[in-house]
Chain A
Amino acid sequence: MFQTHEIWDTLRMIDQEKLDVRTITMGISLFNCVCDDEKMLAQRVYDRITRQAENLVKVGREIERDFGVPIVNKRVSVTPISLITGAVQNPVAVARALDKAAKTVGVDFIGGYSALVQKGMTAADERLIRSIPEALSETDVMCSSINVGSTRAGINMDAVKLCGEMVKDLSIRTGDRDSLGCAKLVVFCNAVEDNPFMAGAFHGPGEGDCAVSVGVSGPGVVKRALENVKGQRFDEVAETIKRTAFRITRVGQLVAREASARLNVPFGIVDLSLAPTPAIGDSVAHILEEMGLERCGTHGTTAALALLNDAVKKGGVMASSHVGGLSGAFIPVSEDIGMIEAAANGALTLDKLEAMTCVCSVGLDMIAVPGDTSAATISAIIADEAAIGMVNNKTTAVRLIPAYGKKVGDEVEFGGLLGRAPIIDVHPFSSELFIERGGRIPAPLHSLRN
């Protein structure tokens, strides 16, 4: 029944290679909270979340204990708030209710202070986006996301312009905390409705009342497996990653199934993403380097990442009954010790990171740029990334941190899972007139698939 070496393998993965489940995320629909009174809406949102997620943290801990596998975060995602605030003037009261509810149930993050504006903005969408700097600077564990483009709709450049301004505003408002607010805001193209990862998690309008989804982790396990195939051909590298990803995902599937049963909530999806942490031995960059690159970011990095991303999916897809979310390798700079090192010694630039986002999930993530970067430049970076997502039928995202008062050579330090990041340079030439135009970039020809 059991092979002893398999048991020791599992124990080694957990102990030494930092195999963990990154998050159990409970998605909660807030449509039944809708009303036109701000206070009552906020109260209903608070009540709905605290009732539905009452046992989430407790059950998460029990599963951790029973199977001996760490579950790093417990999180909640909710219906994009702009969809439930159409009849109220100020959505910030709901932001405070979300933050308070998250703290009451004890989750690490709550996501969904969001708007989906890929084609156009309603008045409520615009109110929500404009409130983000205030909402994120006054709350602690709430995360926000905006979807500004999609393959079917094109890119809403008015929203892109606005998002750049909001990132900039947020950077200044939270300047005393290394512009931490920006780490809680992500701008998407082709956002997915069932993503369990922050900052971009929300419970899409196509979802049911409630679902639990799981995001796995395990870059350390993949790195260790690749150490056993040093010098071998890429065929062997891909096979090794697939086998490893299968095992990692099975753990996620087990946790998702247990959480669903114990919470009496439908199972949503397992997200196959390899999520790194700033801890030693938990780095996606180090996997790429293990393939033979002196430093992540050098020539060959995009190819290595493409192989990794594909093999993770192929290995993981058979291990779970429902795969979804973002499902791919993440490359958040501040959250990955190998990326931090590569960015600090100049091997990894913003342009190379942009290229890498063409072949993996998700995008330009947790990248610190100089504090004096203009709103137009931030918008232009968002537009570039959205274009990659739109044309390639994939999710892309931007989570940039213009670090207030800091310049290239400095560093920002967030601590915990968010890590630290050296400030990397942006192009000095202006994109002002480009962003000023507004309007929509039309959807590509291949969006016409019917």
Chain B
Amino acid sequence: MANVSKAVVSVLGVDRRGIIAKVSHVLFERGSNILDISQTILGGYFNMIMIVDIADCDFSLLMEDLQDLGRAIGVQIRIQKSEIFETMHQI
């Protein structure tokens, strides 16, 4: 299967300082490598998509840490394995 080790991190919430830094820090701590980032701010809302490599990290622990961070800074952070996006949008 292609891209078995990739995941998509999506962040949505009111913009504030340090969101990217904090999310990146969690990814770094858990051994995940950032492959791509896309970020916009629309009407004060922060939207970010990160494609990350999860080959060398524990997916469950990473997910828990990201969710904890999301709660702490008041934004919605999600991580999902990339196949869901590939299968839905690519033939």
Residues in chain A within 8 A of chain B (CB atoms): 1-4, 6-11, 65-69, 247, 250-251, 253-254
Contacts and interface: CB of A to CB of B under 8 A. Distances in A.
B8 A67 contact: no
Given A1-B51, A2-B51, A11-B10, A65 B63 contact: yes
Contact of A254 (B8, B63, B78, B84): B84
B89 interface: yes
B15 interface: no
A7 B81 contact: no
Interface of A is mostly: helix
A243 to B, nearest CB: 11
B81 A250 contact: no
A60 to B, nearest CB: 15
A148 B64 CA distance: 51
Contact of B81 (A8, A11, A66, A251): A66
A254 B88 CA distance: 9
Nearest to A67: B84
Interface in B16-65: 36, 38, 47, 49, 51, 59-60, 63
Contacts of A254: 83-84, 87
A67 B80 contact: yes
A6 B88 contact: yes
Contacts of B86: 2
Given A6-B88, A7-B10, A247-B89, 14 more contacts: A2-B8, A4-B38, A6-B85, A7-B8, A7-B49, A10-B89, A11-B78, A66-B59, A66-B80, A67-B84, A68-B78, A68-B79, A68-B80, A69-B80
A73 B47 CA distance: 31
B6 to A, nearest CB: 9
Interface of B: 8, 10, 36, 38, 47, 49, 51, 59-60, 63, 78-89
Contact of B88 (A1, A10, A65): A10
B49 A251 contact: no
B62 to A, nearest CB: 12
A247 B82 CA distance: 15
A322 B8 CA distance: 28
A66 B85 CA distance: 12
A1 B8 CA distance: 12
Contacts of A247: 88-89
B88 A251 contact: yes
Contacts of A250: 87-88
A251 B59 CA distance: 20
B4 to A, nearest CB: 11
Contacts of A6: 85, 88-89
Given A2-B8, A4-B38, A66-B59, A10 B84 contact: yes
A68 B63 CA distance: 11
Closest 7 CB pairs of A and B: A68-B80, A67-B84, A6-B89, A250-B87, A254-B87, A247-B88, A66-B81
Contacts of A1: 36, 51
A254 B86 CA distance: 10
A2 to B, nearest CB: 6
Nearest to A6: B89
Given A4-B38, A11-B10, A67 B81 contact: yes
A250 B86 CA distance: 9
B89 A3 contact: yes
A7 B88 CA distance: 9
A5 to B, nearest CB: 10
Contacts of B85: 2, 6-7, 10
A11 B36 CA distance: 18
B24 to A, nearest CB: 18
A67 B83 contact: yes
